[in-house]
Amino acid sequence: MRYYLSLGGNIGDTTSILKKAIDDLAEKIGAVEKVSSFLRTAPWGFHAENDFINVAVILVSEKKPQDVLSLILEIEKKYGRERSDAEKGYQSRPLDIDIIFIDYLLINTETLTVPHPLAHRRCFVLKPLCEIAPDFIHPTLCKSIKCLLDECQDV
């Protein structure tokens, strides 16, 4: 399966953390097929002192989606990401990894929704993804990543 991931962070040496996290994804999950450029973006949905650095990655893996999610959460924790049930809203973090697409699968469970429900509204997700997969068609919106980026109202 081909996993399309969005990584970002804004605490610490973000570029270094992202590079190490990509290495960890390759080691624990599967082959890194493509990596976008690193993109500096303003925080989305909240105010923060530091801008985010975002990158998109395509991984090829035979692992099941729930197993991949568990490994992603372990990698986030390794770099200082703390999650709690009380966590509400958006906040600064050293590392965030989101599964955007898994091939053309549709998944809607308590812990995982694919395609990511907000990806098409976030330029910080679409721009790096468009660099490495411009012609990928969103499985429910039936539009290419390039088209979604062109239509994105996010500034």
Q: For this structure, is 121 an active site residue?
A: no
Decide if 40 is catalytic: no
What is the residue-level pLDDT of the chain in tens, covering all 155 positions? Answer: 999 999 999 999 999 999 999 999 999 999 999 999 999 988 877 677 889 999 999 999 999 999 999 999 999 999 987 765 545 567 788 999 999 999 999 999 999 999 999 999 999 999 999 999 999 999 999 999 999 999 998 76
Domains annotated on the chain, with CATH:
2-116 (3.30.70.560)
Q: Taking the mean position of all CA atoms in its chain, how far away is CA 61?
A: 16
Q: What is the reported pLDDT for 155?
A: 63
Annotated catalytic, 93? yes
- Please tell me the distance from the alpha carbon of residue 133 to that of residue 137, in angstroms, as a whole number: 9
- Over the Cα atoms of the chain, what is R_g? 14
d(CA 86, CA 65) in angstroms, rounded, equals: 25
Q: Given the DSSP bridges, would you call strands 52-60 and 39-41 parallel, antiparallel or unpaired?
A: antiparallel
Of 23, 67, 96, 103, which residue is the catalytic one?
Answer: 96
pTM of the model: 0.93
Report the distance separating Cα 74 and Cα 12, nearest Å: 18
